[in-house]
Amino acid sequence: MIELDRVSKAYGGRTVVDNLSLAVPQGAFCVLLGPSGCGKSTTLRMINRLIECDSGAIRLGGEDVRAVAPEILRRRIGYVIQSNGLFPHWRIADNIATVPRLLHWERDRIEARVDELLALLHLDPVAYRDKFPHQLSGGEQQRVGVARALAADPELLLMDEPFAAVDPITRDALQGEIARIHRETGKTILFVTHDIEEALRLATLIAILDKGKLAQLGTPLDIVENPQSDFVRDFVGAQGIGLKLLSVRKVAERMRPGEAAEGEPIVAEASLAEALGQMTERRCDRLPVVDATGRVLGSVLLADLVR
Amino acid sequence: MNIAAPALPTRAVSVPRNLVLPLLVAAAAIGAVGCGFVGLAPNRLVSGRPVMLWDAAGPGFTAGLAASGAGLLALGFTPPKRSLAYVAATIASAMLVIALAGAGHAAALLSAGAPPAARVSLGAGFWIVLGCAALAVIDALQRSEAAVAGQLIAAALIGGAFIALAKAGTFDALSLAHEYATRREVFAASVGRHIVLVAASVGPALLIGVPLGLAAQRSKRFEAPLFAVLNLLQTVPSIALFGLLIVPLSALAKAAPGLAALGIGGVGPAPAIIALVLYALLPVARNTLAGIGGVPANTIDAARGMGLTKRQLFWQIEVPLALPVLIAGLRIVTVQAIGLAVVAALIGAGGLGSFVFDGLGQYATDLVLLGALTAILLAFAADFLLRLLAATLSRRYAP
């Protein structure tokens, strides 16, 4: 889907992105992770050509991003930034309709799409359509930012630390939303963050960057279990690595199929950390496991978590 | 168990909720009691003897002013409510109109028994009362949070009352009206000339100043020298600048007779307009820079990331967001140009300044006032209209 081929970028002799190659498959939720100044934002902004790379090539669906004018390219790519960047003088509906309007959609189609997206982001279309950005809370503004990025049904969504500026509770809710949207739409998402917890929760693929180079590429489990360098080990966090392992492994992996248990069930897709949390909360050592439809699959025991 | 709320101690002395109204009423009262409401002079060239409000305008107008003052004073002690602010605006407007009518009435009474050459001019007491009433109107309108329409209606009502009084001949006996009457033919032309001078300088100033401001916003290297030059221009006194322009322009007119035929020469409107344009460049360029530069970086980043072209970014995002600051700049230069254009009469540019300088030459204070007051009213009107424009435009600017 996205292919970075030996891409470099320097500012005044300082190399920010250094000969970086990276391939992100269709439908992946790829998180670019690293400390500030590692080049992750620059990498993201080179994909929609807000920054032009010095050397190398970036291909989107096999086509070089420089094959079309940057404006045309950007209208095909959703873009969400940290401080939402909503246009303060436009109503919420106008903000969401930005790209469809640039693409000269029919008026009726735009209106229908705006309402559909507001509903997708759990904002009541009737209540929010005609409001202005300053009338919304930070979390609601960021939801509108996501809706605006999705408006023209782009093939790819670029998100530059989108939830860094909101409070932890709102961030947790927004992370849940974007995970759900990824599941439901199957869009390819490239997401920049410096927050390891956020990366482990959301990513299907994590690319850790260090000084403009790719330090490691792998699934969240890979990254936690097999850090390939001291940098990655330090960044993922030597402390609390066990808890991080629990948070990237699913209940389904440790479940005892067919065994029954009492009490509130947990879904098989939940992490082992969530299972541990529920056991601690209810003072029990056994939880029934169900699938997404509520069908009982088996149970999971406290001892299984540390197996 | 219920705990009874302790009774709050009641205040023996009530403190005004709105300090502005009592202060204005006090100032107006001191002005009305301590200074002459009008002045009576044997002719237009000497200064007059002050005549107090009750002697000049009679008990009716004195009582009217006192009643409206008492009303405003009482309103200063009422809780802040929008409906009461409207009442205050109405009373203050009434006070303003009563002061105007009272001055006209006083002039009619005093000149009735005086020789024909005698003149009745407006005194310090009148100006203080009028000024306080006008400030009370503005204060009340602000407190009422009146929308654009409300302010427009208030201005139209007061202006309408003034015109109705003038048409009815209320002011005819005032010295100011005598000066107006003797120059009735040239007055409208002078106002028109003044407006043309201002428009002919503000228009080009925008056409030159806005691109300069945009260029400064895009290039830091250009910004410093540009503003060094514009600041220098701003420090040159207006009369000096008019004088400086006489030499090159008369040389130009001599070298190119075609230009002279167009009215371009060392004196007249050409140097005046050039000077006004030069003075207007700094505020226009500075507000353009501040307005466009004040658009948040993340908004621009998002707009570019959405795929807006440079032109779309400029017209759909940067200009609307900078508009309040841009219009503020336009307001500054318009008001500034209306004032400076008065001075331009010295180099033969015409306009309201010709009354001012004629009046100065003849020691006729009321002729000076005729030009100066009209210029002030023009500046107020321009400021008011541009404020309305800014408020209307910035309230909603949807795509």
Reference B396, options A64, A89, A172; nearest CA is: A89
State the pLDDT at residue B1. 42
At B397, the pLDDT band (50, 70, 90 cuts) reads low
B392 has a chain A CB within 8 A of its CB = no
Query: Could you report the per-residue pLDDT of A117-126, keeping only the tens digit for each?
Result: 999 999 999 9
DSSP B49: E
Cβ-proximal residues to B26 (8 Å cutoff; 6+ apart), any chain: none
A89 has a chain B CB within 8 A of its CB = yes
Query: Could you report the per-residue pLDDT of B243-259, keeping only the tens digit for each?
Result: 888 888 888 888 877 77
B387 has a chain A CB within 8 A of its CB = no
At B290, the pLDDT band (50, 70, 90 cuts) reads very high
Residue keyed to tokens 């292919």: A3
A99 has a chain B CB within 8 A of its CB = yes
Q: Which of chain B's residues have a Cβ under 8 Å away from the Cβ of A79? A: 302, 305-306
Nearest CA in chain B to A48: B305
The ipTM is: 0.82
Query: Could you report the per-residue pLDDT of B189-224, keeping only the tens digit for each?
Result: 999 999 999 999 999 999 999 999 999 998 889 999
State the pLDDT at residue A244. 76
| Among A75, A83, A98, beta carbon nearest to B298 | A83
Please answer yes or no on whether B303 and A87 come within 8 Å at the CB atom. Answer: yes
Mean pLDDT of B132-159: 86
State the pLDDT at residue B13. 55
Distance (Å, whole) CA B277 – CA B205: 5
Please answer yes or no on whether B304 and A101 come within 8 Å at the CB atom. Answer: no
> Are the beta carbons of B133 and B28 closer than 8 angstroms?
yes
Report the C-alpha dihedral over residues B27, B31, B32, B36, rounded to 10 degrees. Answer: -170
Please answer yes or no on whether B306 and A83 come within 8 Å at the CB atom. Answer: no
> Are the beta carbons of B140 and B158 closer than 8 angstroms?
no
B315 has a chain A CB within 8 A of its CB = no
CA A94 to chain CA centroid, nearest Å:
25
**pLDDT at residue A281 greater than cutoff 90:** no
Tell me the CA distances in angstroms from B321 to A79, A212, B208, B398, one per residue in order: 21, 36, 21, 11
Cβ-proximal residues to A59 (8 Å cutoff; 6+ apart), any chain: A2, A3, A5, A65
Q: Which of chain A's residues have a Cβ under 8 Å away from the Cβ of B325? A: none
Distance (Å, whole) CA B68 – CA B74: 10
A11 has a chain B CB within 8 A of its CB = no
Query: Could you report the per-residue pLDDT of A256-280, keeping only the tens digit for each?
Result: 888 888 888 888 888 888 888 888 8
State the pLDDT at residue B395. 62
Residue keyed to tokens 């939720």: A29
Q: Which of chain A's residues have a Cβ under 8 Å away from the Cβ of B392? A: none
Q: Which residue has the higher pLDDT, B44 or A148?
A: A148
Distance (Å, whole) CA B78 – CA B137: 17
Which 3 state secondary structure label does DSSP give B181? helix
Lowest mean pLDDT among A163-172, B147-156, B221-230: B147-156
Q: B298 to chain A, minimum CA–CA distance in Å? A: 5
Q: Which of chain B's residues have a Cβ under 8 Å away from the Cβ of A75? A: 306-307
Residue keyed to tokens 């003038």: B166
Map chain A to HEC letters: CEEEEEEEEEECCEEEEEEEEEEECCCCEEEEECCCCCCHHHHHHHHCCCCCCCEEEEEECCEEHHHCCHHHHHCCEEEEECCCCCCCCCCHHHHHCHHHHHCCCCHHHHHHHHHHHHHHCCCCHHHHCCCCHHHCCHHHHHHHHHHHHHCCCCCEEEEECCCCCCCHHHHHHHHHHHHHHHHHHCCEEEEEECCHHHHHHHCCEEEEEECCEEEEEECHHHHHHCCCCHHHHHHHCCCCHHHHHHHHCEHHHHCEECCCCCCCCEECCCEHHHHHHHHHHHCCCEEEEECCCCCEEEEEEHHHHCC
Report the C-alpha dihedral over residues A228, A230, A236, A237, rounded to 10 degrees. Answer: 140
Which 3 state secondary structure label does DSSP give B165? helix
Q: Which of chain B's residues have a Cβ under 8 Å away from the Cβ of A90? A: 398-399
Q: A36 to chain B, minimum CA–CA distance in Å? A: 18
Reference B128, options B48, B32, B195; nearest CA is: B32
Query: Could you report the per-residue pLDDT of B42-68, keeping only the tens digit for each?
Result: 888 777 889 999 888 889 999 999 999
Q: Which of chain A's residues have a Cβ under 8 Å away from the Cβ of B320? A: 89
Q: Which of chain B's residues have a Cβ under 8 Å away from the Cβ of A145? A: 302
Q: Which of chain B's residues have a Cβ under 8 Å away from the Cβ of A85? A: 296, 298-299, 301-303, 305
State the pLDDT at residue A238. 58
Please answer yes or no on whether A71 and B307 come within 8 Å at the CB atom. Answer: yes
Cβ-proximal residues to B363 (8 Å cutoff; 6+ apart), any chain: B45
| B342 membership: H or E segment, kind and range | helix B319-343
State the pLDDT at residue B142. 85
**pLDDT at residue B234 greater than cutoff 60:** yes
Pairing of strands A256-257, A296-301: antiparallel
Q: Which of chain A's residues have a Cβ under 8 Å away from the Cβ of B308? A: 71, 98, 102
| Among B298, B321, B397, beta carbon nearest to A85 | B298
State the pLDDT at residue B57. 87
Q: Which of chain B's residues have a Cβ under 8 Å away from the Cβ of A83? A: 298
Residues in chain A: 307
**pLDDT at residue B399 greater than cutoff 60:** no
State the pLDDT at residue B2. 47
Q: How many CB atoms lie within 10 A of CB B74?
A: 15
Residue keyed to tokens 């409206």: B68
Q: A194 to chain B, minimum CA–CA distance in Å? A: 19
Cβ-proximal residues to A217 (8 Å cutoff; 6+ apart), any chain: A22, A205, A206, A207, A208
Beta bridge partners of A29: A189
State the pLDDT at residue B5. 47
Please answer yes or no on whether B397 and A48 come within 8 Å at the CB atom. Answer: no
Q: Which residue has the higher pLDDT, B393 or B301?
A: B301
A73 has a chain B CB within 8 A of its CB = yes
State the pLDDT at residue B148. 73
> Are the beta carbons of B304 and A97 closer than 8 angstroms?
no
**pLDDT at residue B11 greater than cutoff 70:** no
A88 has a chain B CB within 8 A of its CB = yes
Taking one residue from A and the other from B, the number of pairs with CB-CB distance under 8 angstroms is: 63
Token pair listed for B351: 């306009």
Mean pLDDT of B381-387: 89
Please answer yes or no on whether A87 and B304 come within 8 Å at the CB atom. Answer: no
Please answer yes or no on whether A94 and B305 come within 8 Å at the CB atom. Answer: no
Nearest CA in chain A to B396: A89
Please answer yes or no on whether A84 and B302 come within 8 Å at the CB atom. Answer: yes
State the pLDDT at residue B14. 63
Nearest CA in chain A to B309: A71
State the pLDDT at residue B151. 82
Q: Which of chain B's residues have a Cβ under 8 Å away from the Cβ of A102? A: 306-308, 312
- B-proximal residues of A, 158-177, CB under 8 Å: 158
Mean pLDDT over the full length of chain B: 87
A50 has a chain B CB within 8 A of its CB = yes
Sheet holding A256-257, edge to edge: A256-257, A296-301, A286-290, A266-267
Q: Which of chain B's residues have a Cβ under 8 Å away from the Cβ of A73? A: 307
Token pair listed for A99: 């790209």
Packed helices B53-75 and B20-34: angle between N→C axes, nearest 10 degrees: 170
Which 3 state secondary structure label does DSSP give B259? helix
Query: Could you report the per-residue pLDDT of B324-344, keeping only the tens digit for each?
Result: 899 999 999 999 999 999 998
Q: A100 to chain B, minimum CA–CA distance in Å? A: 10
Q: Which of chain B's residues have a Cβ under 8 Å away from the Cβ of A87? A: 299, 302-303, 317
Cβ-proximal residues to A197 (8 Å cutoff; 6+ apart), any chain: A247
Nearest CA in chain B to A70: B307
